[in-house]
Amino acid sequence: KAGVTQTPRYLIKTRGQQVTLSCSPISGHRSVSWYQQTPGQGLQFLFEYFSETQRNKGNFPGRFSGRQFSNSRSEMNVSTLELGDSALYLCASSLAERGEDEQFFGPGTRLTVL
């Protein structure tokens, strides 16, 4: 069974630009969550989508948005990039609706904002 895939793996952007990251969950998984990992703030929850609906949202500005498609693939978008948005962005997929089943993480997208 294929794991969670994230594209692209690496990305370099400049301040003010926007970026779209993609996450393909494991087949059959309906929940996709996104996390931002930085040395200073650690791992922080961005949002979760379940069956195309945003179920939960972290404490991030409106520049961070996401969506989920009918095939459960998810995208997150960051507009008007700032230097502080440089981070590793991880997505995780899960089969179940709660924590009974494992969340499987993708390899991450490393975003660098210059």
Partner 1 sequence: AQTVTQSQPEMSVQEAETVTLSCTYDTSENNYYLFWYKQPPSRQMILVIRQEAYKQQNATENRFSVNFQKAAKSFSLKISDSQLGDTAMYFCAFMKGWMEYGNKLVFGAGTILRVKS
User: Per CB under 8 A, does 28 bind partner 1?
Assistant: no
Cα distance between residue 44 and residue 38, in whole Å: 9
CB 19 within 8 A of CB 62: no
State how far the alpha carbon of 56 is from the alpha carbons of 9, 14, 23, 31, 100, in Å.
25, 29, 17, 11, 18
Q: Is 50 in the site for partner 1 (CB under 8 A)?
A: yes
CB of 40 to partner 1, least distance (A): 10
Cα–Cα dist 31/98, whole Å: 9
Q: Does 48 bind partner 1 (CB under 8 A)?
A: yes
Restricting to residues 4-23, name those near partner 1 by CB under 8 A.
none
Under the binding rule (CB under 8 A), the answer on residue 33 touching partner 1 is yes
| C-alpha to C-alpha distance for 57 and 8, rounded to whole angstroms | 23
74 binds partner 1 (CB under 8 A): no
Q: Report the distance separating Cα 81 and Cα 85, nearest Å.
A: 6
In the complex, least distance from residue 110 CB atom to partner 1, rounded to whole angstroms: 8
Q: Which CB atom, from 35 or from 64, has the smaller least distance to partner 1?
A: 35
Binding site for partner 1 (CB under 8 A): 31, 33, 35, 42-45, 48, 50, 55-56, 58, 88, 90, 92, 94, 97-99, 102-105, 107-108
